[in-house]
Amino acid sequence: MKNRLQAIAQRHSELERMMSDPEVVSDSRQRQRIGREYAGLQRIVTLTSEFEKASAELSDLKELLAGESDQEVVEMAREESAELEQRTADLQGEIEIELLPKDAAEHADAIVEIRAGAGGDEAGLFAAELVRMYQRYSETRGWKFSIQNSNETGVGGIKEAIFQVQGGGAYSRLKLESGVHRVQRVPVTESQGRIHTSTATVAVLPKAEEIDIEIKQEDLRIDVYHSGGAGGQNVNKVATAIRITHEPSGIVVQAQKERSQNQNRQVAMEELRARLWDQELKKQQDEISANRRAQVGSGDRSEKIRTYNFPQGRVTDHRIHLTSHNLAAIMEGDIDEFIDALISKEQALKLAAVTADG
């Protein structure tokens, strides 16, 4: 781990220098990418510095204890030593968590899709309440919340709603909300006072950033040939037409209408970039669609990840067996208790996997 932390510190310093480079400053996309990487390493560098400081203080105290005879001083040093040992252990744990493999979309904004599941009108009403819950939650964290599409029912509910949440860590915190949410309560429309069970599905997807297409020169096969046409001095005399084959994808583009080879090359490269962009976009959209289907299942009641029981005023997350009796506050967006617990469990599983592999 020590070698890795040293490498991170070097990369952090390198990024710091790059951020003042005029070329980076003038390129908004590169500046954003470097800034994001720098911010991601900053916490590790800070934790490492605190760990090294606490470790040095602990070492000094142990030396003091070894040569000190005054019992009062020894007792004070032992107490401080115990605190520092706990502090270094906590810091090491935090560093290990920060070193875990990061989700590629960790910093992405979130696209959230909520749909009424089983339960008729009551499912639509519950879906609308979930939208409001996430809107309130977004407001408490200072995120920007915006509805992109909504299909309402005639009784105040929704069939589906799609909204975007923009802000630091939006996707990383909301992604574990994906799944079937179940509600148990007496519906407003129920005259007999029976408890009704219905569901709504939540799918949280990362907002795709603008796709940056990198074309490597070694991946291209460029052929120059004679242009065809109705005639003229250059026809069949000067080779100006360009055919470019992008070998990794098999895409072939060609251009021959311009008068010079360089102009045709530029036209062909623009077409190649557009085709590669379209290919990558379709792949990204297919992955998102598959991800959404995996998240929400069929919407059946038995697939629930969380149950909101109104008669008993409690909410239970079945994945971590956590129950809160503060349902009213939760429906107002106070859901950090669940999100924090889910993230902690995910981190613990990752740590266990890393330990097992190591």
Please check whether residues 114 and 198 belong to one and the same domain.
yes
Instruction: Tell me: do 273 and 165 sit in the same domain.
Output: no
Residues 302 and 343 in one domain: yes
Q: Is 301 found in the same domain as 201?
A: yes
Q: Are residues 67 and 183 in the same domain?
A: no
What is the Cα Rg of the chain in Å? 29
Structurally, how many domains does the chain consist of?
Answer: 3
190 in the same domain as 224: no
Judgement on whether residues 252 and 311 belong to the same structural domain of the protein:
no
Of the pLDDT bands very low, low, confident and very high (cuts 50, 70, 90), residue 198 is: very high
Supply the pLDDT for residue 232.
Answer: 46
Examine the domain organization and report whether 185 and 36 are in the same domain. Answer: no
* Residue that terminates a domain, selected from 98, 129, 157: 98
Helices (H) and strands (E) in the chain, counts: 9, 11
pLDDT value, residue 234 = 45
Q: What is the CATH number of the domain that holds 40?
A: 1.20.58
Same-domain pairing of 92 and 130: no
Closest CA to 45 of 12, 92, 88: 12
If you average pLDDT over residues 291-307, what whole number do you get?
Answer: 65
pLDDT of residue 2: 77
C-alpha angle 176/197/315, rounded to 5°? 45
Mark whether 305 and 168 lie in a shared domain: yes
Query: Span 62-75, mean pLDDT?
Result: 79
Per the CB < 8 A criterion, the answer to whether 201 and 179 are in contact is yes
What band does 15 get if pLDDT is binned at 50, 70 and 90? confident
Task: Mark which of 251, 285, 319 sits at the end of a domain.
Answer: 285
pTM strictly above 0.85: no
| In-domain check, residue 54 | yes
Give the tens place of pLDDT for each residue, 142-174: 999 988 888 888 788 999 999 889 987 898 899
Within a domain: residue 116? yes
Rounded Cα gap, residues 56 and 48, in angstroms: 12
The reply to whether 105 falls in a domain is no
Q: Give pLDDT tens digits for 215-235.
A: 888 999 999 887 654 444 444
Among 98, 120, 148, the domain boundary falls at: 98
Check whether residue 308 and residue 186 sit in a common domain: yes
Residue 302 predicted with pLDDT over 70? no
Does residue 174 belong to any structural domain of this protein? Answer: yes
What are the phi and psi torsion angles at 331 (to 5°)?
-65, -15
Question: Looking at the domain assignment, is residue 193 inside a domain?
Answer: yes
Q: What is the CATH number of the domain that holds 258?
A: 3.30.160.20
For the cut 50, the answer to whether the pLDDT of residue 76 exceeds it is yes
* Span of 56-65, 100-109, 187-196 with lowest mean pLDDT: 100-109
More reliable by pLDDT, 25 or 324: 324
* 295: confidence class by pLDDT, cuts 50, 70, 90: low
Average pLDDT, the chain: 83
103 inside domain: no
Does residue 199 sit in the same domain as residue 229? no
The answer to whether position 160 is within a domain reads yes
Structural domain harbouring 79: 2-98
Please tell me what DSSP assigns to residue 102.
P
pLDDT for res 297: 55
